[in-house]
């Protein structure tokens, strides 16, 4: 069974709008939550990551919000641009797992001009 549940499957947003992707997990041993961005035919690239000791992390137009009690975390893409059109994956792992990640199913984001 999937240990990390991601929604929505796809998202269309206008240029300048906000894209929001949500993820939920069950395993309370997870302590590292990265988001990866993937363009068609390419490997995923790390976008931003958070640990459960903080509730929010911002890097440029990308923000992760983390709710430890609800076991949920989300990615917000502010001022979305056509170049942000990609598939986004949330993931989770444990500190002792050496990068062994459990991935969500992915969200395809399309930003219209």
Query: Which residues make up the interface to another protein (CB under 8 A)?
Result: 2, 6, 9, 32, 34, 36, 41-46, 49, 89, 93, 95, 97-101, 103-106
- If the CB atoms of residues 101 and 111 are measured against another protein, the closer one turns out to be 101
Separation of alpha carbons 104 and 6, rounded Å:
5
Residue with tokens 């890097």: 59
- Do residues 18 and 11 lie in contact, with contact meaning Cβ atoms separated by under 8 Å? no
Residue with tokens 């929001």: 20
- If the CB atoms of residues 18 and 46 are measured against another protein, the closer one turns out to be 46
To another protein, the closest distance from the beta carbon of 36 in angstroms equals 8
């Amino acid at each position: 069974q999937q240990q990390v549940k991601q929604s929505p499957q796809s998202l269309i947003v206008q240029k300048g709008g906000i894209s929001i992707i949500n993820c939920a997990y069950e395993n309370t041993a997870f302590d590292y939550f990265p988001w990866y961005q993937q363009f068609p035919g390419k490997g995923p690239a790390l976008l931003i990551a958070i640990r459960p000791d903080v509730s929010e992390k911002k890097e440029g137009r990308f923000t992760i919000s983390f709710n430890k009690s609800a076991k949920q975390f989300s990615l917000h893409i502010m001022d979305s641009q056509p170049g942000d059109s990609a598939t986004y994956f949330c993931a989770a792992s444990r500190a002792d797992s050496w990068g062994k990640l459990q991935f969500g199913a992915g969200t395809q984001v399309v930003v219209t001009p």
